[in-house]
């Protein structure tokens, strides 16, 4: 008998290839900070809306959150996933910024909570 999860996973459970964007190390040039190059990494991940508890915890920080998602990375090295990374999620428009990272590389566990970057003026 093999494991079969068909019918056990709800509709908001989605596996996708998400793109993590980060900046390589920058440096000071003539007294001014120059950003490093953008580095994109693709990861297979489960993408879900955040729970009400997670969203309430994030909103206590006072930030305006438009759309929040939970990303659980399923492959690749996660040891360099940082809270400064941004994410592109297929099927969703815009770029998402990291709000919280729970990264345990020794246990192959990485959960990232992201929110849509608000480009509108205050």
- Residue 8 domain-assigned (yes or no): no
Q: Which residue has the higher pLDDT, 15 or 72?
A: 72
Domain span including residue 39: 14-116
Q: How many domains does the chain have?
A: 1
Would you call 52 helix, strand, or coil by DSSP? helix
Question: Whole-model pTM?
Answer: 0.74
Q: What pLDDT is stored for residue 50 in this prediction?
A: 87
- Percentage of the chain surpassing pLDDT 70? 81
**Any domain includes 96:** yes
**Measured distance CA(122)–CA(58) in Å, rounded:** 19
CA distance 61 to 63: 6
CATH number, domain at 21?
A: 2.40.10.270
Residue 40's H or E segment, with its range, is strand 38-49
pLDDT band at 5 (very low <50, low <70, confident <90, very high): very low
In whole angstroms, how large is the CA radius of gyration of the chain?
16
């Amino acid at each position: 008998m093999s494991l079969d999860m068909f019918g056990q996973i709800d509709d908001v459970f989605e596996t996708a290839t998400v793109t993590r964007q980060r900046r390589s190390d920058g440096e000071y040039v003539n007294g001014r900070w120059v950003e490093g190059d953008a580095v994109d990494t693709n990861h297979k991940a489960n993408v879900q809306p955040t729970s009400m508890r997670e969203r309430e915890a994030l909103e206590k920080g006072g930030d305006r959150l438009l759309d929040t998602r939970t990303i659980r990375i399923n492959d690749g090295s996660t040891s360099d996933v940082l809270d400064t990374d941004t994410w592109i999620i297929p099927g969703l428009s815009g770029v998402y910024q990291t709000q919280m990272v729970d990264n345990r590389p020794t246990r192959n566990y990485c959960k990232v909570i992201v929110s849509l970057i608000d480009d509108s003026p205050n």
